[in-house]
Structure 1
Amino acid sequence: MKRDVRILLLGEPKVGKTSLIMSLVGEEFPELVPLRAEEITIPADVTPEKVPTHIVDYSETEQSDEVLREEIVKLLVNGGAEKGSKIPIILVGNKSDLRSGSSMESILPIMNQFSEIETCVECSAKNLKNISELFYYAQKAVLHPTAPLYDPEDKQLKLQCVRALSRIFSISDQDNDHILSDAELNCFQKLCFGNPLAPQALEDVKTVVWKNTSDGVQDNGLTLNGFLFLNTLFIQRGRHETTWTILRKFGYDDTLDLTDDYLYPPLRVSVGCTTELNHLGHQFLQKLFDKYDEDKDSALSPAELKNLFSVLPYMPWGPEVYSNVSLSDDNYISQHGYFCQWMLSAYLDVHRCLEHLGYLGYPILMERESQTSAITVTREKALDLEKRQTQRTVFLCKVIGPRGTGKTDFLQAFLQRSTERNERDPGPPTIYAINTVSVANQDKYLILEEVDVETEFLKTADAACDVACLMYDVSDPDSFNYCASIYKQHYMDRGIPCVVVGSKADLIEVKQHHGMSPSEFCYKHRLPSPLHFSTLLTHTHTHIYSKLTWAAMYP
């Protein structure tokens, strides 16, 4: 909502501009009228909209065109016209006391010609007729402009407005049956206007819609078309503040974009801290999952996932999600996989995650200040190490080793997938896999990130993680050299725990060309003994992922 309103009075000399201002302020017609009134400010607490209002008089005999240009620029800046909106105009017929009848007939063609003209008011500074109404309409035209919402020529809502109201309808339709029931309408009413509708008022609303539309009411509830019709009706009857109240409640600005304040609430994450979804975030996402899992199979098909994200302007999860998380038997996103992907998103890019939660309506449906209440920022890792315990539930493991070692197989095995299944249903390659691991009867999330050493390990920051998995191929004599050099270069003096894993353990193990065997190397550097992994020896897998999570939790 705007912080203040500027109203500029323009017109030929002697039409009574200054008298209107003097009559408003003094509440009586002034006997002596100056050539121009000084700018006055009406404080917020005496205006109906609770916004300070500046009233500016312009006199062409007293002021230059340059001054007028400056004033118009101030209006443009105040009206956000840099985003393409027009300054709303009100036509004022003053001195109505000198004429019998109305001049509206002759004004209507002009109003129809220019969409910027919000309304027309006849008034009299002498009789104080419609004076306060005139300034109220002017204030309303700025705070609740018609132009972004409605096309007066076509007599229908503008496309951008339809989009915004469709998102609002979708968020308010809690059971996803494409109808707002009485209960949902009352929730919506309470949310936007503070109190529910009386039962009779609710029936009256539906009756009006039913009488005027063919498909606005269905199963005794309001359809999207009915909802759009109601808002059109509000605007046509000059009650566009009702639609604006709804739009602003759901985060929209005057150009019908979601505001940056709404989509990107500030969240400070200090160095050494991480971000996780907390119980509130989990609760919201569970409701969302239940709403869109239409066949109740505890998985989201591509169509259900598309519906879930239909209130966003783009699809936030690309096809790589199918390689990041465990899937259902039908290769759909399982409920478990869905939560894993959200955890991954909150951990890797929390600001993008907040944006997605904003589009989905988190602060509105959870009645919270902002999406940040869905996120926990963990304490610094240094403190965890000092206290020898952690409250974190998400840990990052970098899987490092030369090309061809089997790192991708290791990530896929973590999701209980075989390579054959992947060949049958190949998601695009991804460098992440996330799943839960049970540690001391508690589920922790472990993120495996596959690192291509030959291209990525350029600086120390690339090595940062909670635990490093150094992987070599037991059948390749040169493989362990990589692990040893990466360990010495990046991990030896950093206090980041490392676990050595020998992959392809179903093949014959050969002597490594490194100065010592992997076991001797681990013993010398006080690392756990090497573990062995093979896509064929599935019973060994769980043990390795548990070991990595333990090492991350208790370095």
Structure 2
Amino acid sequence: MCQKNCRGDCDCESQPMGGGQRGTKCDVRILLVGEPGVGKTSLILSLVGEEFPEDVPPRAEEITIPADVTPEKVPTHIVDFSNQEQSAEELSEEILKSNVICIVYSVVDDDTIDRITDYWLPLIRRVLGEEHSTPVVLVGNKVDLVEYSSLELILPIMNQNQEVETCVECSAKTLKNISELFYYAQKAVLHPTGPLYVPHERELTDKCKQALTRVFRICDFNNDGALNDFELDRFQQKCFNTPLEPQALQDLKALVSRQLPEGVREKEGDPKQGGLTLAGFLFLHKLFIQRGRHETTWTILRKFGYDDSLYLSREYLFPKIRVPAGTTTELTEKGHNFLKMLFEKHDLDKDEALCPNELEQLFSVCPVVPWGPELIYTVATNERRFLTKSGYLAMWTLTAALDVTKVMEYFAYLGFMSVTNAESQLDAVTVTRDKQLDLQLKQTMRNVFHCRIIGPQGAGKTSFLQGFLGRTAQETDEIPRAHLPRYTISSVPVYSQEKFLVLHEIDIFSMHDVLTPPELHCDVVCLLYDASNSKSFEYIARIYKKYFEKSRVPVLVVASKCDRSPVKQDYSVQPEEFCNLHKLPPPQMFTTTPATAGEPAKVSRDIYIRLATMAAYPNLKRLVHVLQSRPSWIGEYTNQMMELPPEVTAWMKVGLGAAAVTVMGLLLMRTLKNANTAN
């Protein structure tokens, strides 16, 4: 069903809003009202017959003008009203159905002019509401009978009534301005002045200024506060599909400079790098509207997604995307490149980080910044807690993974389609292949992997999440509790390829806690317990046996707080034996390396790399761990070999190397065989 107040069948829903040069109406319905004898019917018949009718009926039948013969290429319906044949109820119905209302008056009868404000405008407001948006066109007929203009009487009416779009003087008898009358009526619907301009203030509306300011900032690619020749030419081609001639460009800047000196910024030695400031850009549009060229402003606004009420249309912000179960969403290379361009544009001091002011400027074209104060604890920052480029890209990657709709909304605000010439924000995101298919094919093209960090309260999950970002336990303790995120994300190397790992903290409050399906949907699980608390391991052991014992999701057990004295766990088996029984990698130790003289505290990334590798290669659960962990016997024999003579060491190295290759080959074959059997 059409959502644009159209009548009858149409294909509006298949047409993207905000992309064309005209409004979003499927057709235009023009209603002519006025006092008896002012010439409403004669105007319609003169337009259709191209001559003045000698015999005029009380009312003309509804006329439909095909799209191909109208200037705006929109079907137009012209409706006459007659007090003789129609009731007040029928008049109200026609007012409600119309897109524009022409109030016709006679230039030779001042009483018909008085009735505009005494009767017709109040009637329209009663039917449509005081704040209605249906434009009104005042039509002065019978100018062939006078040698003066009625505009002196009409201008105060136009200035005092915002719904009055324009006034046209014409003659049904001589056909003067008949075509123009209906063209302006069409134009009032498709390119209304009301949302753009306040006539009595001779100023742009606040919403229009806000919209044009967003357009300006998107097109200011070098972020210097002025549109230079290159930027203006790209803007022209984006909006009107034609380049801007050099002379026309200079004339335009000269026009603005004469009337508003601060509207143009000159650059010594390179006039092409000077340009139109925001003040000049807004002034130029005010000039367009004052000269009756408001369709130019509308063309620009619609190219940047605005609807007739100067809101970004829902279709523009939220293109339809289907994300089936088992799939995930990631940014494409085109999306990443757009984000990098934005970062470089707003990193004014070129320190590879965005300070709060720079971040605020980046999102100045959006209603609000999409992230709260937890941002700087979710991704990597520099020592001043400014957002680094890697942290910035990681945060967008996390947003795409968790809320792809928000990514598409903000990419629209930020001008993705305008900058990249993409059809929609769908070019910025991709839906990955079903994970089950990845498991069957034993390979994945994903770049983002999800890890659930599950454990009892107090086990150290928050420290583990912050450790992923290189923060020590002491630094984690200094984070305000209200700003602690449930997620962290960073890039990690997986066999020389950079992948993103998303850590999601899940608390276990009791032995009988239930995990939800979304919590179980992940690529790898980290079961974390406190090695210094004898009750801690039982929580994760029960969770493993309940949810993951028969699952194909890789699991890694991690013992935290290993800087304290470990204690025996109050469970039927100890963690090492539990992992061995369930064919899991041995428990991994996690702690922050304490600071020493001259060496700051630090966090090892080995566990995080292991988790990412297990997520990327789930079919090789144990092998991944073995390949990334040097067995202790290798270390012992290596140390012994260092004490032997060189000639003996050489032969032993060869033998040991051959043996290691054989063992690893057998282990690989066995693991692959088990994986195939499991599948």
Q: TM-score range by the shorter chain?
A: over 0.9
Any residues of structure 2 matched to 1:421-460 within 5 Å, and which? Answer: 421-423=475-477, 428-454=483-509, 457-460=514-517
Contact 2:528 2:558 in 1 (8 A): yes
Structure 2 residue 313 is matched with structure 1 residue 259: yes
- Alignment match of 1:363 (pick from 411, 417, 422): 417
Match of 2:408? 354
Match of 1:60? 83
1:113 CA drift (Å): 2.2
Contact 1:6 1:55 in 2 (8 A): yes
Contact 2:334 2:428 in 1 (8 A): yes
Match of 1:91? 138
Structure 2 residue 182 is matched with structure 1 residue 135: yes
Structure 2 residue 551 is matched with structure 1 residue 494: yes
Identity, % of aligned pairs?
Answer: 55
Contact 1:276 1:394 in 2 (8 A): yes
Counterpart-to-counterpart distance in 2, 1:16 and 1:232: 35
1:493 CA drift (Å): 2.7
Counterpart-to-counterpart distance in 1, 2:307 and 2:613: 48
Match of 2:427? 373
Q: Deviations over 1:206-227 (max 9, x none)?
A: 1111111141111231110100
Q: Which amino acid aligns with 1:196?
A: P
Q: Which amino acid aligns with 1:466?
A: D
Match of 2:69? 46
- Alignment match of 1:11 (pick from 34, 42, 47): 34
Structure 2 residue 616 is matched with structure 1 residue 553: yes
Q: Which amino acid aligns with 2:375?
A: V
Distance 1:6 1:412, change over 3 A: same
Contact 2:523 2:553 in 1 (8 A): yes
Contact 1:457 1:463 in 2 (8 A): no
Distance 1:105 1:76, change over 3 A: closer
Structure 2 residue 91 is matched with structure 1 residue 28: no
Contact 1:460 1:490 in 2 (8 A): no
Distance 1:46 1:398, change over 3 A: same
Q: Deviations over 1:409-448 (max 9, x none)?
A: 1111111112333455658211111011101110000000
- Give the stretch that moved more between structures: 364-373 or 35-44: 35-44
Counterpart-to-counterpart distance in 2, 1:110 and 1:541: 76
Distance 1:168 1:498, change over 3 A: same
- Give the stretch that moved more between structures: 529-538 or 513-522: 529-538
- Alignment match of 2:194 (pick from 118, 127, 147): 147
Q: Deviations over 1:25-83 (max 9, x none)?
A: 2222223322212212212222111111111111111111111111111136999x899
Higher Cα radius of gyration: 2
- Give the stretch that moved more between structures: 115-124 or 453-462: 453-462
Counterpart-to-counterpart distance in 1, 2:569 and 2:129: 67
- Secondary structure of the equivalent of 2:373? coil
Match of 2:96? 73
Q: Which amino acid aligns with 2:604?
A: H
Distance 1:77 1:199, change over 3 A: closer
Counterpart-to-counterpart distance in 2, 1:391 and 1:210: 55
Contact 2:30 2:185 in 1 (8 A): yes
- Secondary structure of the equivalent of 2:592? coil
Match of 2:607? 544
| TM-score between the two structures when normalised by the length of structure 2 | 0.79
Counterpart-to-counterpart distance in 2, 1:173 and 1:141: 31
Match of 2:60? 37
Q: Deviations over 1:282-312 (max 9, x none)?
A: 1100110000000101110111101101111
- Give the stretch that moved more between structures: 461-470 or 414-423: 414-423
Structure 2 residue 566 is matched with structure 1 residue 509: yes
Distance 1:76 1:23, change over 3 A: closer
Any stretches of 5+ residues in structure 1 without a counterpart?
Answer: none
Segments ≥4 residues shifted beyond 6 Å: 76-79, 537-540
- Secondary structure of the equivalent of 2:74? coil
Match of 1:328? 382
Match of 2:598? none
Any residues of structure 2 matched to 1:48-447 within 5 Å, and which? Answer: 48-75=71-98, 84-219=131-266, 220-423=274-477, 428-447=483-502
Match of 1:523? 580
Q: Which amino acid aligns with 2:490?
A: N
Contact 1:176 1:291 in 2 (8 A): yes
1:84 CA drift (Å): 4.9
- Secondary structure of the equivalent of 2:493? strand
1:457 CA drift (Å): 4.2
- Alignment match of 1:481 (pick from 538, 557, 580): 538
Q: Which amino acid aligns with 1:479?
A: S
- Secondary structure of the equivalent of 2:249? helix
Q: Which amino acid aligns with 1:444?
A: K
- Secondary structure of the equivalent of 1:268? coil
Q: Which amino acid aligns with 1:524?
A: L
- Secondary structure of the equivalent of 2:605? helix
Counterpart-to-counterpart distance in 2, 1:533 and 1:309: 38
- Secondary structure of the equivalent of 1:23? helix
State the number of aligned residues.
Answer: 554
Q: Which amino acid aligns with 2:250?
A: E
Counterpart-to-counterpart distance in 2, 1:552 and 1:351: 25
1:230 CA drift (Å): 0.4
- Secondary structure of the equivalent of 2:499? strand
1:463 CA drift (Å): 2.2
Contact 1:18 1:36 in 2 (8 A): yes
Match of 1:466? 523
Q: Deviations over 1:109-147 (max 9, x none)?
A: 222222211111111112111111100000001111111
Contact 1:85 1:148 in 2 (8 A): no
Any stretches of 5+ residues in structure 2 without a counterpart?
Answer: 1-23, 102-123, 267-273, 595-600, 619-679
1:551 CA drift (Å): 1.4
Q: Deviations over 1:83-112 (max 9, x none)?
A: 955211111111222222322222222222
- Secondary structure of the equivalent of 1:251? coil
Distance 1:97 1:82, change over 3 A: closer
CA RMSD of aligned residues (A): 2.0
Counterpart-to-counterpart distance in 1, 2:480 and 2:472: 11
- Secondary structure of the equivalent of 1:470? strand
Q: Which amino acid aligns with 1:54?
A: H
Q: Which amino acid aligns with 1:351?
A: T
- Secondary structure of the equivalent of 1:286? helix
Counterpart-to-counterpart distance in 2, 1:99 and 1:189: 44
Q: Which amino acid aligns with 2:529?
A: Y
Q: Deviations over 1:243-294 (max 9, x none)?
A: 1111111111111111001111111111111000010001100110000000
Q: Which amino acid aligns with 2:520?
A: A
Contact 1:124 1:131 in 2 (8 A): yes
